[in-house]
Amino acid sequence: MDAESLNSPRWPRVSKGGFHEAWFVSASDAKAGHGLWLRYGVNLDSGGARDSSLWGSWFERDAPARTFVVRNLVDDATISRTGLLFGAAELTASGCTGEVEAGGHALRWRLSFGQGAPAEEVIPAWLSPIARLRGSGYVLPHAATTLSGAVEVDGRMTELQRAPALQGHLWGRSYWPAWAWARGSGFAEDADASLDLLDVEGPRGIRLPLFVLRYRGGTHRFGELPWMLLSVSRPAAPAWHFSAQDTRLSIDGVVRATTDHMVQVQYPDVDGSLRHCVHTAVASMEVRVRSRAVPGAPWRPEGTLTSKSGASLEFCGREADARVTRGLVSAPARRRNLPGAGSVAS
């Protein structure tokens, strides 16, 4: 697997029936206290009509009033020789550019991906047949990487220097009823470690916790059987308590945020319903790691991972969260007569 192939779009294969597809970039700089969330999205309605959009959100730990999320509707998404084009914005295997402006806020970026963990298929093997029946998928072309480059936030220039990040790609004919998602990285004790948490409401309301820890050169997929059956997941916005184990390693911890550091967006499903999602990229995570020599042996302390303001956290479902007041603002993409003038995105 490689980033270019995993980012390959699925929407050209869909003629009708409804479909959604998104590429997202999430980065958190714990030292600077800010976070970034970008989304390149395509939606097809039941008749096959397509709309394309570019989303951007900015989070500041020490100035929550500067938190915002905006979306621009672009003319179309197209496939280029090197990646994807959303109007003037671009996403490739090596980086991303773009700009969004609405509601008095503007976000512009020109960023490059660094070296990191290999690309990953998120959905475990036992769940893949169900995902295929739903026409859905979730992959990480850049499972654990860094972002470097320039970001312009409401006219203020910010430089990202190897900020811990990931880039994901997901798609499906319809949204899952509810889910929670989190990513922790840039831990104070181990800058190379990262933890992905995903809790999906599956068929008949069954919750499926799918956790992955990258730690000290190993990748622990707690979502595989039989280990998923031993996982405990208690997402309750704006906090999430969790635990998991496999043959040699166990984790337990919490990721939490405050609602004034979150934004709220809506995703329309093919049946007309909405998924309300609250999100932040300046959450905090603490994880206790234990190990054992062989299965059945006592667990012994291995270490603790802490990341203050260095985690992303999201809760999605059918009900809006009235505590989160910063909502999505949308507008058509601004047309520029002089491409590149005054923009870090060009």
3-state secondary structure the chain: CCHHHHCCCCHHHCCCCCEEEEEEEEEEECCCCEEEEEEEEEEECCCCCEEEEEEEEEEECCCHHHCEEEEEEECCEEECCCEEEECCEEEECCEEEEEEEECCEEEEEEEEECCCCCCEECCCHHHHHHHHHCCCEEEEEEEEEEEEEEEEECCEEEEEEEEEEEEEEEEECCCCCCEEEEEEECCCCCCCCEEEEEEEECHHHCEEEEEEEEECCEEEECCCCCHHHHCEEEEECCEEEEEEECCCEEEEEEEECCHHHCEEEEEECCCCCEEEEEEEEEEEEEEEEEECCCCCCCCEEEEEEEEEEEEEEEEEECCCCCCCCCECEEEECCCCCCCCCCCCCC
Whether 344 is in a domain gets the answer: no
CA dihedral (228, 233, 235, 238) positive or negative: negative
C-alpha–C-alpha distance, residues 313 and 230, integer Å: 22
What is the model's pLDDT at position 340? 44
Residue 342 located in a structural domain: no
* Position 341 in a domain: no
Residue 71 covered by a domain? yes
Question: Is 340 inside a domain boundary?
Answer: no
Residues 143 and 119 sit within 8 Å (Cβ to Cβ): yes
pLDDT of res. 343: 58
How many domains does the chain divide into? 1
Q: Is the pTM for the entire model greater than 0.85?
A: yes
Residue numbers of the domain that contains 201: 3-7+20-332
Instruction: Say if residues 265 and 275 touch (Cβ distance below 8 Å).
Output: no
Residue 13 belongs to a domain: no
337 lies in some domain: no
In a domain, 346, yes or no: no
pLDDT digit of tens for each residue in the chain (346 aa)?
789 899 999 998 887 789 999 999 999 999 999 999 999 999 998 888 889 999 999 999 999 999 999 999 998 899 887 899 999 999 999 999 999 999 999 999 999 999 989 999 999 999 999 899 889 999 999 999 999 999 999 999 999 999 999 999 999 999 999 999 999 999 999 999 999 999 999 878 899 999 999 999 999 999 999 999 999 999 999 999 999 999 999 999 999 999 999 999 999 998 899 999 999 999 999 999 999 999 999 999 999 999 999 999 999 999 999 999 999 999 998 765 434 444 566 5
